[in-house]
Structure 1
Amino acid sequence: MRRVDIHEELPDEQTLLQRIADGDSMAFALLFKQYKQNLYSTIFHLTGSSGMAEDVLQEVFIKVWMHRARLPDIINFPGWLYKVTEYAGFKVIRNNRRIAAQLHVLSNDPFPPAEKDPVDIFIEKEYDQLLEAAIAQLPEKQQLTYRMIKQQGLKRKEVAERLSVSPETVKWNLDQANQSVRNYCMAHLGLTLAFMLVNSLQ
């Protein structure tokens, strides 16, 4: 399998997608480099948060790599990629109770089941399973903190009161949980991909 030099001129997209489907991690790095800025801007526009934008961007490209074998069969890859990105961004907003209260129009799924591509549904399910496995392996306090903030949308102060700890402890537990979840997901996607994604998002 021929590896692509990340500094070489970008090949045509169909060729690039086929190389990624064949497991070429450097071709994947080229694809990431090509789209990351525009996708980041799209997510940032939706969420208003650089941290959320980075998390969603990483999630999107993890999904792309996990299901790379299907990439050559996607008719309109840019359109598909932006659709996946927008859905991931809306999902983050929907899970953030404070933002969702202000943007109640986003409370419904932006892509109703009837309009979802089967590949999108499969990708979402697979990634959610991986994420849930990552959360489940966290220590109890970190897991509770992660779920309360990330999934239930509680504020750190609320979590501190519920767990009878200081806000600083909540922050520490959340930071540790985020790092552990990220490491777990990356470990299940391969070390080469993990290195590229982590360094590209710094």
Structure 2
Amino acid sequence: MDEQAVIQDVLAGNKQAYTHIIEQYKNPLYATILRMTRQPHLAQDLVQEVFFKVYEQLGKYEATGSFKSWLYRVAINHCLDELRKKQYKIQNEQFTEEQLIEAEHPEIIYLKREKERQLEQLLSTLPEQERMILLLRYSNELSYEEISELLHISLSDVRNKLHRSKKKMRDEVRKGGDYDELSKRG
């Protein structure tokens, strides 16, 4: 079903249609928020709050921009506000791939867990905005334009920060890290 049609159904009073939006975005939002907070239970709570907030504010969405971008803007702003308001300490807690995906074979889970651990270590070396741009681009598959709109920075800043952060991570790998896949990417 077309996303704009679903939004119109929800706005027309069909509350059941909102489950389509939740199903489509709950996992990517959870992954993004989990990476922001590093606290699985907090991330779950914030995802629920975000979907409630999006439902309440759906009438404010203007179809001129991407719904996905608008949704992420609401989510990230809400999370940052909550983190500031409650002054949560972001723990450097490692979380497993099972928290992000359904269970698979033990070998695959182990390899994904190790890959995730290495990537999280590399991401933690980056400034917050560069880390957020990488996550939005590669975890959430937002376009450069959507990221620019979401973070209120210019398109050239998005490109430059993305390039710079990938270079920093490659350099870190070359210094002695063992995350070879990243050093092969452009």
- Category of TM-score, reference length = shorter chain: 0.3 to 0.5
Normalised by the length of structure 2, the TM-score is 0.45
Q: TM-score, normalised by structure 1?
A: 0.42
